[in-house]
Amino acid sequence: MAQPESGNHFEHTLDADEFRRVAYLAVDLAAEHLFGIRRRPVFEPMTPNERVELLQEPMPTDGIAPDAILEHLRTRVMPHPMGNGHPRFFGWVNSPPAMLAVATEIIAAAMNPSCAGGDHAAIYLERCAVRWLMELVGYPTDGSMGILVSGASMATLTAFAAARHRAAIRRGWSVRDDGLQSGHPPLVIYMSSEGHGCFRKAAELLGLGAASIRTIPVDDAFHIDVAALARAIAEDRAAARQPFCVAVSAGTVNTGAIDPLDEVADLCAREDIWMHVDGAYGAVGVLDPATAPRFRGLARADSLALDPHKWLSVPVECGCVFVREGATLRQAFSLVPPYLRTDEGKGFGGLPWYSEYGFQQTRGFRALKLWVTLANAGRGGIASIVSRHIRLARRLALILEAAPDFELLAPIELSIVCFRYVPDAIRDDEKKLNDLNQRLIENVQASGGAFVSGTTLRSRTALRACVLHYATSEDDIGALVEIVRRASVALAASIAS
Ligand SMILES: *Cc1c(COP(=O)(O)O)cnc(C)c1O
């Protein structure tokens, strides 16, 4: 970075004209990024030198002027995005940012509230945006509580903590008072082998231990096997353990499989077990009329995780957890220090603090970008994007299915397509197919023309394409197929030689 003359320093203020000038420059940089995206490769690895430069930049003693800082961002930082802004990026579950939310983020930063609680607009905007989200996916609002968090990992941790709290209370003890080390029968949690890794992380962090986490097998379409789940619960009961939570998925991260939610809800109701649904990616799939029936039972979940920073394109980070019994969530987390205590009916108006419903105290104004995105698209706008993405995924699947040297590895339930290349020469050699497809993923990524990620399904290496960009078109799907095909042919030739 350009060093200032010795003795220069800047504090945290700018005068009004200078603020406007600098902010407009930043807007120009953002616009250049957003609108120049199609002209750049989808992804370009950084050179070792570029990495080292960013890693080892020393902290300046004297401050650096705004223009030099913006220049540094323009030349050193902005040329190396993750790739998810590009309409031919199909990796993982990473969407592009909704443009209006990008433009208004400066307002959230300028207002800079802490949404721990209090009586200011950000709090009410969060209540409103979360209610909209509940209504969007058909989750009951009355008595429910929702809170914005970093993402579905934190949403899951929050939901499991509430589930653990309720399970103990129902059996006459308090996990907050006793912890998990006081000799109560062990609490057991259930998830399928396709459940997201954050289930396990959250369960471990909550002290359940690997011995209390059951992994239930899935059927041919990657749905949790409900009969096996029921058997596992019965076995644990017979051994005097306490089944307390079943975590299922409304759109798994691997294939977009939607577990049989209604059946699981029946089982959980019979067994008095908390049902958590991971709808981080897929919950909004319910807005596609043809897909909606698969989501039956979603509204019966005791808790639901939904990531607006996935399919809704709210800029990262924006996750959300809904809990059907809002009061239980509060009991699990509420701890009000004297300096925050407000007496109801005294002082300003105000709702119970968000810090009583989750682990965080100081919380950012995530609600602004969420509210802006939902308001701008409306229910109709969101539904049309979701339906379009599902349609594009089906189209991709049809093209691949029709090709003799490609094979789909999972049914298409939402906007994820898992497939692999199976050239005749090695069709019966799973090991060679896995190696080949792993190299194929890497070659497609390195091509800069499109980006897919990979996964493993029943020991098979799969290319995985998730359609999540508002600007992805049929042409982009066609281009993806072309790029994969070209890379496949090149690889097949290299095997043959
Ligand atoms: C992304 C994702 C998660 C994890 O959420 P984060 O926002 O990354 O914390 C969990 N489940 C599914 C299905 C996801 O797509």
Distances from the Cα of 47 to the Cα of 8, 16, 257, angstroms: 33, 39, 38
Provide the H-helix boundaries in 239-285.
Answer: 261-271
Cβ-based burial of 182 (10 A; exposed 0-12, middle 13-18, buried ≥19): exposed
Structure token digits, residue 61: 């003693």
Of 194, 168, 296, the C-alpha closest to 247 is: 194
pLDDT at res. 350: 77
How many whole angstroms from 297 Cα to the centroid of ligand 1? Answer: 21
> Which contacts (CB < 8 Å, 24+ apart) does range 229-238 have?
229/190, 229/264, 229/267, 230/267, 232/190, 233/190, 233/267, 233/271, 233/273, 236/188
Task: Report whether residue 93 contacts ligand 1, using a CB cutoff of 6 Å.
Answer: yes
Within 13 A of 27's CA, how many CA atoms are on the CB side?
14
Residue ranges of the domains in the chain?
17-81, 113-364, 385-496
Task: Report whether residue 308 contacts ligand 1, using a CB cutoff of 6 Å.
Answer: no
Task: Report whether residue 192 contacts ligand 1, using a CB cutoff of 6 Å.
Answer: no
> Angle, nearest 10°, between helix axes 99-111 and 366-402?
160
How many whole angstroms from 313 Cα to the centroid of ligand 1? Answer: 14
- How many other β-carbons are positioned within 10 Å of the β-carbon of residue 188? 25
Helix (H/G/I), strand (E/B), else coil: 416: strand
Atom 7, ligand 1: residue with shortest CA distance = 151
Q: How many helices (H) and strands (E) does the chain have?
A: 14, 11
Cβ-based burial of 11 (10 A; exposed 0-12, middle 13-18, buried ≥19): exposed
How many whole angstroms from 139 Cα to the centroid of ligand 1? Answer: 19
- How many other β-carbons are positioned within 10 Å of the β-carbon of residue 117? 20
Task: Report whether residue 259 contacts ligand 1, using a CB cutoff of 6 Å.
Answer: no
Provide the H-helix boundaries in 92-139.
Answer: 99-111, 121-137
Task: Report whether residue 152 contacts ligand 1, using a CB cutoff of 6 Å.
Answer: yes
How many whole angstroms from 151 Cα to the centroid of ligand 1? Answer: 7
Pocket test for ligand 1, best of 191, 198, 254 (most atoms within 8 A of CB): 198
Of 389, 392, 487, the C-alpha closest to 437 is: 487
Q: What Rg do the C-alpha atoms of the chain give, in angstroms?
A: 25
Overall pTM > 0.85: yes
Q: Tell me, what DSSP letter sits at residue 377?
A: H
CA gap 95, 430 in Å, rounded: 32
CA gap 138, 69 in Å, rounded: 46
pLDDT at res. 495: 79
Structure token digits, residue 45: 């690895």
410: left (phi over 0), alpha (psi -120 to 50) or beta: beta
Task: Report whether residue 281 contacts ligand 1, using a CB cutoff of 6 Å.
Answer: yes
Q: What helix, strand, coil percent values describe the chain, rounded to 5?
A: 50, 15, 40
How many whole angstroms from 277 Cα to the centroid of ligand 1? Answer: 12
Task: Report whether residue 194 contacts ligand 1, using a CB cutoff of 6 Å.
Answer: no
What CATH number was assigned to the domain covering residues 113-364?
3.40.640.10
Q: State in words which class domain 385-496 has.
A: alpha beta
Task: Report whether residue 318 contacts ligand 1, using a CB cutoff of 6 Å.
Answer: no
pLDDT at res. 7: 67
Within 13 A of 106's CA, how many CA atoms are on the CB side?
11
Low-confidence ranges of the chain (pLDDT < 70): 1-7, 341-349, 497
Are 113-364 and 385-496 in the same CATH fold?
no
Chain mean position to CA 213: 22
CA gap 392, 387 in Å, rounded: 9
CB 405 within 8 A of CB 399: no
Atom 13, ligand 1: residue with shortest CA distance = 253
CA gap 313, 468 in Å, rounded: 8
Task: Report whether residue 468 contacts ligand 1, using a CB cutoff of 6 Å.
Answer: no
Task: Report whether residue 126 contacts ligand 1, using a CB cutoff of 6 Å.
Answer: no
How many whole angstroms from 316 Cα to the centroid of ligand 1? Answer: 12
CA gap 126, 118 in Å, rounded: 12
SS (HEC) of 422-475: CCHHHCCCHHHHHHHHHHHHHHHHHHCCCECEEEEECCEEEEEEECCCCCCCHH
CB 3 within 8 A of CB 64: yes
Task: Report whether residue 267 contacts ligand 1, using a CB cutoff of 6 Å.
Answer: no
Task: Report whether residue 258 contacts ligand 1, using a CB cutoff of 6 Å.
Answer: no
CA gap 448, 452 in Å, rounded: 11
Structure token digits, residue 141: 């609002």
CA gap 310, 95 in Å, rounded: 6
How many whole angstroms from 194 Cα to the centroid of ligand 1? Answer: 13
How many whole angstroms from 370 Cα to the centroid of ligand 1? Answer: 17
How many whole angstroms from 252 Cα to the centroid of ligand 1? Answer: 9
Chain mean position to CA 148: 12
How many whole angstroms from 305 Cα to the centroid of ligand 1? Answer: 9
Q: Tell me, what DSSP letter sits at residue 239?
A: T
Of 192, 98, 157, 101, the C-alpha closest to 321 is: 157
